[in-house]
Amino acid sequence: MVTIRLSRSGAKKRPFYHLTVTDSRRSRDGRFIERVGFFNPVARGQEERLRVDRARIEYWQGQGAQLSARVAKLLSVAESSSEAADAA
């Protein structure tokens, strides 16, 4: 099964995550099919915290890909923040 999940990068105590489309049987940081965004949990100031390619995620979901729990939560946060930016 194809899954959209987080893959850890970055340095010790400075995590950085890529949103990747991968086979669910692969290791967390192993080979992936496509990168569709990133999440920086330690972003400060004007640094970008989350970037998501919504079109590619919708494409992969159409192909049967499942979202991990954390990615689903991040997407809902990204959607609500984009709606707030549109309203302003």
Tens digits of pLDDT across the chain (88 residues): 999 999 999 999 999 999 999 999 999 999 999 999 999 999 999 999 999 999 999 999 999 999 999 999 999 988 887 776 666 6
- Return the SS3 of 79: helix
Q: Are 19 and 34 spatial neighbours (Cβ–Cβ below 8 Å)?
A: no
Cα dihedral sign for 76, 61, 4, 48? negative
16, β-bridge pairs:
9
Rg of the chain over CA atoms, in angstroms?
A: 13
Rounded Cα distance, 11 and 77, in Å: 25
Q: Say what the pLDDT of residue 78 is.
A: 86
- In what order do the strands lie in the sheet containing 14-23? 50-52, 34-39, 14-23, 2-11, 66-67
Please identify, in words, the CATH class of the domain defined by 2-87.
Answer: alpha beta
Q: Say what the pLDDT of residue 20 is.
A: 97
